[in-house]
């Protein structure tokens, strides 16, 4: 089956002619966009389609800042050297908070630590007072009229341990709880699985996990036997992987989803190869990659700033940075 190439419309041909004419005049992409009255991504797409190299800003690798931008940068630098916070700089300059933070990032000035508002300080003092009186988190939430999750967050931020209430407050000295823990410790030392202990004691599996975790005892899980269909799928995936096929090719061959193939390869411990870059990406994708590359390398902007400027979500920006070979930092694991 032969696919016919779509013929370009007269408007598209006229646009390509104008872009080529202005490129020969050594104009940059933003200048062409302003001249024609089209968005910059449209100009990038046309240039990518024509295979023409393009300049970001005429005569420089970095964007030339206007006099107003230079003035606000000097003002922000002066206030930052005076030790003012972001909120105080926002109040002085009458700019948005995101704008001030972006200027700090562009000038490579470390952001000052956020100062707590009087309401936050009052809430922390109130929570600290009620916690010293022995009140639990739900009782503090009722007294202060705040959500329970807010009280938990403040307690965690202040490093204050929770005061348990109800059955949780007396379970540490309960004779039944002590006997149940001794019974679980005995069964765990005998090598019984969690399911076997739950069946023997007549307690839910979640309770067994909770007590074993509280006692810091290792729990043995009973692995569910694989079905014949799962074993056949794993053998098939292993065979195609040994033949050098990639996950998308295996998925098309078997008729399964890519996520299923990736899951099977991870379970079998088989390293899978990524798909090679054939250069057949959508022109819009190539234009967006070029735009992200400019913002990230030339202007030194963060992924969050790029997402807000391009009006894309963070996942799309991360995917573009990954395609450009930028090593992404792993997110910090929050301590429980």
Q: What is the CATH number of the domain that holds 58?
A: 1.10.10
User: Can you give the length of the chain in residues?
Assistant: 336
Residues 5 and 52 in one domain: yes
pLDDT of residue 53: 67
Whether 55 is covered by a domain: the verdict is yes
Six token digits for residue 184: 């679980």
- Dihedral angle, C-alpha 177, 179, 185, 189, nearest 10 °: -160
pLDDT of residue 58: 47
DSSP state, residue 37: T
Euclidean distance between CA atoms 65 and 264, whole angstroms: 52
Alpha-carbon 158 to chain mean position = 26
The answer to whether residues 137 and 162 touch, using CB atoms and an 8 Å cutoff, is yes
Residues 101 and 142 in one domain: no
Cα angle 280, 241, 327 (rounded to 5 degrees) comes to 55
Half-sphere exposure (Cβ direction) of 59: Cα atoms closer than 13 Å: 3
Whether 144 is covered by a domain: the verdict is yes
pLDDT of residue 59: 46
Q: What is the mean pLDDT of each run of 10 residues along the chain (336 residues)?
A: 61 87 84 86 84 58 71 89 86 88 84 79 92 87 90 88 58 74 89 88 88 80 78 91 87 88 83 57 80 81 84 86 72 42
pLDDT of residue 235: 92
As to burial, measured by CB atoms within 10 angstroms (0-12 exposed, 13-18 middle, 19+ buried), residue 125 is exposed
pLDDT of residue 236: 92
Phi, psi of 10 (to 5 degrees): -60, -35
Whether pTM exceeds 0.95:
no
The answer to whether residues 151 and 144 touch, using CB atoms and an 8 Å cutoff, is yes
pLDDT of residue 223: 63
pLDDT of residue 157: 87
Whether 257 is covered by a domain: the verdict is yes
Instruction: Find the domain containing 15 and state its range.
Output: 1-64
Neighbours of 297 (CB within 10 A): 12
Residues 59 and 72 in one domain: no
| 248-252 contacts, C-beta under 8 A, 24 or more apart | 248/275
Residues 7 and 55 in one domain: yes
Residues 133 and 149 in one domain: yes
Euclidean distance between CA atoms 306 and 326, whole angstroms: 14
Mind giving me the DSSP string for 69-120?
Answer: HHHHHHHHHHHHHTT--HHHHHHHHT--HHHHHHHHHHTTPPPPPPPPPHHH
Whether 44 is covered by a domain: the verdict is yes
| 106-112 contacts, C-beta under 8 A, 24 or more apart | 106/73, 106/299, 106/300, 106/301, 107/73, 107/76, 107/77, 108/300, 109/76, 109/77, 109/80, 111/86, 112/80, 112/83, 112/84, 112/85, 112/86
pLDDT of residue 25: 85
Residues 55 and 20 in one domain: yes
Six token digits for residue 97: 């908070």
pLDDT of residue 278: 53
Whether 14 is covered by a domain: the verdict is yes
pLDDT of residue 333: 44
Helix and strand numbers, DSSP H then E, in the chain: 19, 0
Q: How many domains would you assign to the chain?
A: 6
Whether 29 is covered by a domain: the verdict is yes
Whether 113 is covered by a domain: the verdict is no
Residues 73 and 58 in one domain: no
Whether 128 is covered by a domain: the verdict is yes
60 strand-pairing partners? 57
């Amino acid at each position: 089956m032969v696919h016919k190439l779509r013929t370009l419309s007269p408007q598209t041909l006229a646009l390509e002619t104008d872009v080529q004419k202005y490129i020969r005049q050594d104009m940059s992409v933003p200048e062409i966009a302003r001249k024609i009255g089209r968005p910059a991504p449209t100009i990038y797409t046309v240039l990518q389609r024509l295979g023409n190299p393009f300049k970001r800003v005429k005569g420089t690798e970095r964007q030339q800042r206007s006099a107003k931008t230079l003035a606000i940068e000097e003002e922000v630098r002066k206030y930052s050297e005076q030790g003012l916070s972001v909120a105080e700089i926002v109040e002085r300059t009458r700019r948005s908070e995101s704008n001030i933070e972006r200027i700090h990032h562009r000038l490579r000035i470390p952001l000052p630590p956020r100062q707590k508002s009087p309401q936050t300080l009052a809430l922390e003092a109130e929570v600290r007072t009620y916690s010293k009186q022995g009140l639990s988190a739900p009782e503090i939430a009722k007294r202060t009229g705040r959500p329970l999750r807010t009280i938990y967050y403040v307690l965690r931020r202040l490093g204050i341990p929770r005061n348990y209430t109800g059955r949780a407050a007396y379970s540490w000295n309960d004779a039944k709880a002590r006997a149940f823990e001794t019974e679980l410790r005995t069964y765990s030392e005998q090598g019984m699985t969690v399911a076997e202990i739950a069946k023997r004691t007549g307690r839910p599996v979640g309770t067994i996990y909770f007590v074993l975790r509280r006692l810091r005892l290792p729990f043995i899980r009973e692995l569910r036997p694989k079905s014949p269909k799962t074993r056949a799928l794993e053998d098939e995936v292993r065979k195609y992987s040994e033949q050098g096929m990639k996950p998308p090719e295996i998925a098309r061959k078997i008729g399964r989803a890519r996520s299923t193939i990736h899951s099977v390869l991870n379970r079998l411990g088989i390293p899978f190869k990524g798909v090679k870059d054939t250069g057949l990406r959508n022109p819009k994708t190539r234009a967006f990659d070029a735009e992200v590359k400019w913002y990230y390398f030339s202007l030194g902007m963060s992924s969050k700033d790029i997402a807000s400027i391009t009006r894309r979500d963070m996942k799309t920006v991360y995917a573009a940075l990954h395609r450009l070979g930028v090593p992404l930092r792993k997110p910090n694991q929050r301590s429980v």
